[in-house]
């Protein structure tokens, strides 16, 4: 029996009868074909002519008419039984109308040995084969399940020694590797034919027998007698073993309800039977249709229990039991139709091979022991007797770790290979070191990239501001001409709006608005013309501040350059870019300051003119209280209209210029802020660079000192320390961390703009005009 696809084998067995209707049932001499000739509708038999007669042909594996029980077994079942002994699942199933001979075929007569059916013959064959096949150790178990009105019944539960049935009843279960099984169904080991037959007869006694119109002893239930076979090779000490199930199924009658005249309990039984058989038919149809991937097995207990006994890897045989009489022709036809559907089901018989894990482990353990023995023998021969092949102890692993660290430091020239386990442990240590190194480099890269990002952003932003300021400087050239038209007077407003928007955007990007900038913008946007003090002053020295110069770090033996020298180098080297930006920003700041000074003077000049004109008008008013006599009339002298007009124009001019001044003032503050930021960055980067380049941190010095004294303590330190490369990177990170800490603690609480404002020179105050 090869694991190749094959059809379900179908046999037709005709119950012997004296009134066999040869007109309706025609068995062809090939022994494989049954032709059924029948009237489509029997009620029309007398009304219509013979042209209504219809014929159907059924070709099966064999038509069993007047054949002995022995021949039936040999042709139907023997192949399946032998397959089961080889590890293939097998199912032999009888289907047909009540009384058609299903039970006779399956169980046969319990009184006549000659007329015994398939089950006792199969049991005999199985147990005889078990005796014969001495190279295998077989275990055979039997179970007998009845499905009555959708209830599972254990027909062997009455036997002594059978475990009490589970209170939850029996359940059809499925498990991976085990397939379908009935939880709670008792399995009985058998060692002889007699033992097996005892069980069969016990089960038969327990079958529920109901009286029936057609057959007083007809079974009203489906019965599944299963032989469970397991075999292990006695010759090969193999963990593999094979199992199989031989299902011998006696289905309940497939008759129609109306025909049997069933009532009450009988009717109920018939409903269940028909239901389960129609679901069986559906499952068969689905199995026969290769495009279907879902088979409705779970709809009834019968189909669920037979799930892996119909198609799949099973050798399946169906016996369709039919009557030979004309009266049963409709049922016969329906049975044969079912049989022809069953014939379309393909199965792929395959041996159920399993591996016993416990035996497998034992086998492997034995193999390992053997190999170890061989290896130790080999080591003795090549004089390598100290080697063991057990897993490394903690102490050995620690030793390997220390060796790897020393190797990486350079204090160990090479690591001697002693065993495969040791080589693996060495690699593991290297991997660990690389991972730790990676972590540190990643952290460094993150830090650096955030600095670079900030620097890029700063550069881009500075360039924007410079462009903006330059644009405004050009505009400011026209502001200088105060007599310009209102177009010019309006222009700065729009520029200011744009600049402010830009600054707001910038503030948003930075997360918070600079307090200094906010303060300046706010003060500049006050609507009243308050006296304004504009920051002006010299830029602070570009040299590091005294605080940073005074801070002395312990120098390594080769004395580093002084900070002043180093700063000069830094400005042209690594810090050149930020230094350049700082210079450019300072230049712009100076330009803006000078413009601001000029504008302040102009505004104040206008203010003085306003004051002057106002005073003249006041004088006119004072004099206006006196009445001058012109001739006979007394004329009150009005203040000079031209003076008033002039005063209005001056005030308007003042406001225009003041607005421009306010913008420039805001720009100066903003520029100052940028210059300060640049300076702080230049200094902090310089500090960072200086420490990184020239200073050895205190902790590292301590460690170096300690290292020379106590070698043991090396092992307690992080494993990366002894690496020649990583000690320098560790210093780098220590230094950077400390610098960052120092820098944050050194940062002035107020912004540089504020600091400069207080320190810088002031512009002359702008006088207030109401
Ligand atoms: P079913 O199980 O299909 O309802 P049975 O197997 O109980 O029908 O058969 C009904 C009766 O017919 C039984 O008495 C049985 O002995 C008899 N019978 C059926 N088939 C045969 C046969 N091939 N040879 C002799 N007797 C048969
Ligand atoms: Mg029966």
- Inform me whether the pLDDT recorded for 347 exceeds 70: yes
pLDDT of residue 764: 45
Q: What DSSP string describes 177-213?
A: TTEEEEET---EEE-SHHHHHHHHHHHHHHS-B---S
Q: Which atom of ligand 1 is nearest to the CA of 97?
A: 3
Using most ligand atoms within 8 A of CB, pick from 94, 101, 102, 220 the residue to mutate for ligand 1. Answer: 101
Query: Which one, of 210, 11, 151, lies nearest residue 93 by Cα?
Result: 11
What integer pLDDT is reported at residue 428 of this predicted model? Answer: 92
Going by alpha carbons, the residue nearest to atom 9 of ligand 1 is 101
16-20, 301-305, 516-520, 651-655: lowest mean pLDDT where? Answer: 516-520
Q: What is the pLDDT of residues 616-627, one digit of tens each?
A: 888 888 776 544
DSSP state of 43: G
Asked whether residue 143 carries a pLDDT value surpassing 50, the answer given is: yes
To test the ligand 1 pocket, which listed residue (99, 100, 249, 269) has its Cβ within 8 A of the most ligand atoms?
99
Atom of ligand 1 nearest to the CA of 94: 3
The pTM assigned to this predicted structure is 0.53
Atom 10, ligand 1: which residue's CA is nearest?
A: 99
Q: Say yes or no to pLDDT of 221 above 70.
A: yes
Distance 220 CA to ligand 2 centre (A): 7
CA distances from 174 to 180, 182, 306, 308 (A): 4, 9, 11, 10
Among protein residues, the one whose CA lies closest to atom 23 of ligand 1: 15
pLDDT band at 516 (very low <50, low <70, confident <90, very high): very low
Contact 395, 275 (CB under 8 A): no
More confident residue, 734 or 672: 672
Q: Is the pLDDT of residue 414 over 50?
A: yes
Write the pLDDT tens digit of every residue in 38-83: 776 545 545 545 456 788 999 999 999 999 999 999 999 999 999 9
Among the listed ranges 244-253, 434-443, 464-473, 584-593, which one has the minimum average pLDDT value?
464-473
Q: Is the pLDDT of residue 538 over 60?
A: no
Contact 90, 247 (CB under 8 A): yes
- Decide: 281 and 338 in contact? Cβ < 8 Å: yes
Coil, strand or helix at 384: coil
Question: Average pLDDT of 485-501?
Answer: 39
pLDDT over 70 for what percent of the chain? Answer: 65
Q: Residue 124 pLDDT more than 80?
A: yes
Pocket probe for ligand 1: among 104, 107, 109, 111, the residue whose CB has the most ligand atoms within 8 Å is 104
Report CA(379)–ligand 2 centroid distance (Å). 74
Interatomic CA distance for residues 504 and 419, integer angstroms: 69
Residue located nearest, by CA, to atom 22 of ligand 1: 15
- Spatial distance between the Cα atoms of 211 and 193, rounded to a whole number of angstroms: 32
pLDDT digits (tens, 9 = 90+) for 437-466: 888 888 888 777 665 555 555 555 555 444
Question: Taking 70 as the threshold, does the pLDDT of residue 385 lie above it?
Answer: no
Cα 611 from Cα 540, distance rounded (Å): 38
Q: What is the pLDDT of the chain when averaged over all its residues? A: 74
Give yes or no for residue 253 CB within 6 A of ligand 1.
yes
**Nearest ligand to the C-alpha atom of residue 102:** 1
Please write the tens of the pLDDT for every residue from 655-692.
888 888 888 888 888 888 888 888 888 888 888 888 87
- Continuous H helices in 528-640: 546-550, 563-572, 576-624
Treating both helix axes as pointing N-terminal to C-terminal, what angle do 486-510 and 515-524 enclose, rounded to 10 degrees? 160
Does 321 contact ligand 1 (Cβ within 6 A)?
yes
DSSP state for residue 717 in the 8-state scheme: S
Looking at residue 557, what is its pLDDT? 45
């Amino acid at each position: 029996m090869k694991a190749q696809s094959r059809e379900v084998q179908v046999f037709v067995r005709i119950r012997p009868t004296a009134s066999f209707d040869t007109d309706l049932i025609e068995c062809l001499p090939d022994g494989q074909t049954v032709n059924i000739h029948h009237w489509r509708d029997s009620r029309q038999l007398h009304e219509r002519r013979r042209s209504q007669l219809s014929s159907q042909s059924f070709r099966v594996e064999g038509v069993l008419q007047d054949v002995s029980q022995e021949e039936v077994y040999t042709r139907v079942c023997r192949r399946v039984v032998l397959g089961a002994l080889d590890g293939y699942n097998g199912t032999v199933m009888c289907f047909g109308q009540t009384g058609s001979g299903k039970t006779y075929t399956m169980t046969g007569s319990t009184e006549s040995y000659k007329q015994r059916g398939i089950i006792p013959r199969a049991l005999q064959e199985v147990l005889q084969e078990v005796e014969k096949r001495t190279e295998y150790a077989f275990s055979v178990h039997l179970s007998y399940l009845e499905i009555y009105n959708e209830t599972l019944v254990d027909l062997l539960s009455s036997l002594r020694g059978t475990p009490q049935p589970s209170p939850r009843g029996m359940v059809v279960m499925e498990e991976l590797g085990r397939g379908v099984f009935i939880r709670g169904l008792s399995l009985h080991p058998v060692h002889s034919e007699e033992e097996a037959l005892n069980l069969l007869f016990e089960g038969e006694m327990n079958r529920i027998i109901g009286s029936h119109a057609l057959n007083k002893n007809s079974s009203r239930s489906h019965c599944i007698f299963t032989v469970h076979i397991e075999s292990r090779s006695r010759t090969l000490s193999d963990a593999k073993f094979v199992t199989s199930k031989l299902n011998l199924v006696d289905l309940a009658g497939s008759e129609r309800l109306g025909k049997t005249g069933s009532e009450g309990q009988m009717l109920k039984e018939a409903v269940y039977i028909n239901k389960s058989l129609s679901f069986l038919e559906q499952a068969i149809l689905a199995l026969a249709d290769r495009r279907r991937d879902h088979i409705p097995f779970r709809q009834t207990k019968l189909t669920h229990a037979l799930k892996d006994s119909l198609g799949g890897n099973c050798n399946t045989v169906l016996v369709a039991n039919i009557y030979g009489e004309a009266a049963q022709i409709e049922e016969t036809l329906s049975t044969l139709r079912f049989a022809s559907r069953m014939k379309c089901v393909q199965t792929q018989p395959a041996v159920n091979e399993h591996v016993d894990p416990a035996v497998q482990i034992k086998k492997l353990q034995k193999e390992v022991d053997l190999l170890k023995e061989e290896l130790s023998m080999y080591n003795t021969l090549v004089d390598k007797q100290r080697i063991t092949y057990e897993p490394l102890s903690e102490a050995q692993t620690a030793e390997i770790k220390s060796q790897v660290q020393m190797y990486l430091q350079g204090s160990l020239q090479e690591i001697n290979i002693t065993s495969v386990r040791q080589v693996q442990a060495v690699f593991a240590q290297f991997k660990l070191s690389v991972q730790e190194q990676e972590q540190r480099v990643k952290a460094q890269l993150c830090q650096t990239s955030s600095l670079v990002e900030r620097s890029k952003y700063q550069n881009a932003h500075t360039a924007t501001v410079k462009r903006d300021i330059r644009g405004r400087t050009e505009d400011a050239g026209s502001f200088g001409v105060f007599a310009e038209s209102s177009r010019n007077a309006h222009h700065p407003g729009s520029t200011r709006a744009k600049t402010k928007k830009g600054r707001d955007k910038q503030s948003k990007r930075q997360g918070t608005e600079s307090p200094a900038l906010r303060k300046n913008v706010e003060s500049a946007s006050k609507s009243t013309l308050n006296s304004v003090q504009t920051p002006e002053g010299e830029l602070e020295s570009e040299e590091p501040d005294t605080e940073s110069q005074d801070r002395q770090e312990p120098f390594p033996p080769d004395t580093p350059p002084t900070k002043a020298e180093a700063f000069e180098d830094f400005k042209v080297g690594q810090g050149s870019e930020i230094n350049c930006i700082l210079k450019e920003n300072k230049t712009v700041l100076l330009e803006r300051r000078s413009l601001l000074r000029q504008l302040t003077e102009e505004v104040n000049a206008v203010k003085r003119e306003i004051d002057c004109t106002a005073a003249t008008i006041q004088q006119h008013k004072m004099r206006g209280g006196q009445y001058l006599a012109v001739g006979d009339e007394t004329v009150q002298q009005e203040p000079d209209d031209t003076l008033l007009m002039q005063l209005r124009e001056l005030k308007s001019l003042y406001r225009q210029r003041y607005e421009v001044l306010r913008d420039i003032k805001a720009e100066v503050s903003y520029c100052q802020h940028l210059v300060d930021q640049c300076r702080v960055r230049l200094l902090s980067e310089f500090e960072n660079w200086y420490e990184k380049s020239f200073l050895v941190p205190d902790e590292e010095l301590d460690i170096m000192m300690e290292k020379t004294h106590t070698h043991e303590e090396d092992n307690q330190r992080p494993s990366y320390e002894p690496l020649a490369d990583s000690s320098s990177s560790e210093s780098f990170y220590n230094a950077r961390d400390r610098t960052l800490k120092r820098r944050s603690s050194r940062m002035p609480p107020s912004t540089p703009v504020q600091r400069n404002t207080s320190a810088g020179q002031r512009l002359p105050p702008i006088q207030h005009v109401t």
